[in-house]
Amino acid sequence: MCGIAGIYHADGRVADPRHLGPMLDRIVHRGPDGRGTWHSGSCALGHVRLAVLDRSEHAHQPMLVGGGLGTLAYNGEVYNFVELRAELEAEGARFTSTGDAQVVAEALLRWGPERATRRFDGMFAFAFFDRRDGVLWLGRDAVGIKPLALTRQGDTLLFCSEPKGLLAHPEVSAEVDPRELQRFLVVGRPDPERSILREVEFLPAGALWRIEGRREDRGQHFDLTQVIVPERLARRGRAVQRDSERRLEDSLERSVVGHLQSDVPLATLCSGGVDSSLVTSLAAPRHEGLEAWVADVGRPSEAKAARTVGRHLGVPIHAISVEREEYLRLWCEAVSHEDAPCTHPSTPALLAVNRACREAGIVVLLTGEGADELFGGYPRYAMGHNLLRRVRRGASLPRPWGRSWRLVAHWLRGAEHAHVLAAREPRLRRRLAVALAPEQTLRLQALSAHLGDVLPVAEKAAHLAALDDLHAHLSWILTRHDRMGMAVSIETRLPFLGADLIELALNLPYRLKQRGGESKWLLRRAARRRLPRDIVSAKKRGFPVDPRFHRGTSALLEGGWVPDLLGWSRAVAQDLLPQIEHSTVRFHYTSLEIWARLRLGGESVASVSEALLKAVRA
pTM summary value: 0.92
Domain match, 536 and 594 both: no
Q: Count Cβ atoms below 10 Å from residue 136 Cβ, excluding itself.
A: 23
Domain match, 608 and 472 both: no
CB-CB contact of 502 with 374 (8 Å): yes
| Secondary structure (DSSP) of 318-339 | EEEE--HHHHHHHHHHHHHHHT
For residue 83, tell me if it sits in a domain.
yes
pLDDT band at 572 (very low <50, low <70, confident <90, very high): confident
Q: Which of 180-184, 244-248, 538-542 has the highest mean pLDDT?
A: 244-248
pLDDT band at 379 (very low <50, low <70, confident <90, very high): confident
Whether residue 503 is predicted with pLDDT greater than 90 in this model: the reply is yes
Question: For residues 476, 479, 481 and 487, what is the CA-based torsion angle, rounded to 10 degrees?
Answer: -140
Q: Residue 316 belongs to a domain with what CATH number?
A: 3.40.50.620
Domain match, 525 and 575 both: no
Query: How does DSSP classify residue 225?
Result: H
Nearest 5°: the CA angle 299, 300, 302 is 120
How far, in Å, are 341, 342, 579, 594, 595 from residue 556 at the CA level? 14, 15, 13, 8, 12
The mean pLDDT value for 543-554 works out to 84
pLDDT band at 406 (very low <50, low <70, confident <90, very high): very low
Q: How much is the pLDDT for 425?
A: 47
For residue 52, tell me if it sits in a domain.
yes
Domain match, 115 and 146 both: yes
Whether residue 516 is predicted with pLDDT greater than 90 in this model: the reply is no
3-state secondary structure of 220: strand
Domain match, 79 and 210 both: yes
Strand order across the beta sheet in which 149-153 lies: 34-40, 43-49, 2-9, 156-160, 149-153, 201-202
Domain match, 536 and 609 both: no
For residue 262, tell me if it sits in a domain.
yes
Whether residue 551 is predicted with pLDDT greater than 90 in this model: the reply is no
For residue 546, tell me if it sits in a domain.
no
Please give the tally of structural domains in the chain.
3
Which of the residue ranges 115-129, 472-486, 541-555 would you say has the lowest mean pLDDT? Answer: 541-555
Domain boundary among 495, 517, 541: 541
Domain match, 519 and 611 both: no
For residue 534, tell me if it sits in a domain.
yes
Whether residue 606 is predicted with pLDDT greater than 60 in this model: the reply is yes
In whole angstroms, give the CA distance from residue 579 to residue 586: 9
pLDDT band at 300 (very low <50, low <70, confident <90, very high): confident
616/113: higher pLDDT: 113
Q: How much is the pLDDT for 206?
A: 97
Query: How does DSSP classify residue 176?
Result: B
Neighbour-count burial of 286, counting CB atoms closer than 10 A to its CB (0-12 exposed, 13-18 middle, 19+ buried):
exposed
For residue 468, tell me if it sits in a domain.
yes
Domain boundary among 206, 222, 238: 222
Q: How much is the pLDDT for 371?
A: 96
Domain match, 215 and 355 both: no
Nearest 5°: the CA angle 510, 515, 521 is 85
The mean pLDDT value for 259-284 works out to 97
CB-CB contact of 528 with 274 (8 Å): no
Q: How much is the pLDDT for 394?
A: 54
- Paired with 253 in beta bridges are none
In whole angstroms, give the CA distance from residue 161 to residue 154: 21
For residue 194, tell me if it sits in a domain.
yes
Q: How much is the pLDDT for 388?
A: 66
Domain match, 190 and 317 both: no
In whole angstroms, give the CA distance from residue 538 to residue 519: 10
Domain match, 506 and 570 both: no
3-state secondary structure of 239: helix
Q: Return the percentage of the chain with pLDDT > 70, whole number.
A: 92
Q: How much is the pLDDT for 400?
A: 40
Whether residue 352 is predicted with pLDDT greater than 90 in this model: the reply is yes
Domain match, 467 and 568 both: no
| pLDDT tens sequence across 442-480 | 888 889 899 998 988 888 888 988 998 999 899 999 999
Could you list the residue range(s) of the whole structural domain that residue 189 is in?
A: 2-222
Query: How does DSSP classify residue 491?
Result: E
How far, in Å, are 187, 465, 506, 515, 520 from residue 381 at the CA level? 18, 7, 15, 11, 11
Domain boundary among 511, 541, 571: 541
CB-CB contact of 206 with 140 (8 Å): yes
| pLDDT tens sequence across 70-98 | 999 999 999 999 999 999 999 999 999 99
The mean pLDDT value for 363-372 works out to 96
Q: Return the percentage of the chain with pLDDT > 90, whole number.
A: 73
| pLDDT tens sequence across 408-443 | 344 333 333 333 333 444 555 566 667 777 787 788
Q: How much is the pLDDT for 392?
A: 57
- Paired with 64 in beta bridges are 71
Domain match, 167 and 233 both: no
Neighbour-count burial of 154, counting CB atoms closer than 10 A to its CB (0-12 exposed, 13-18 middle, 19+ buried):
exposed
For residue 296, tell me if it sits in a domain.
yes
Q: Which residues contact 490 (CB under 8 A, 6 or more apart)?
A: 354, 357, 358, 362, 363, 364, 365
The mean pLDDT value for 537-553 works out to 83
Whether residue 382 is predicted with pLDDT greater than 90 in this model: the reply is no
Q: How much is the pLDDT for 240?
A: 94
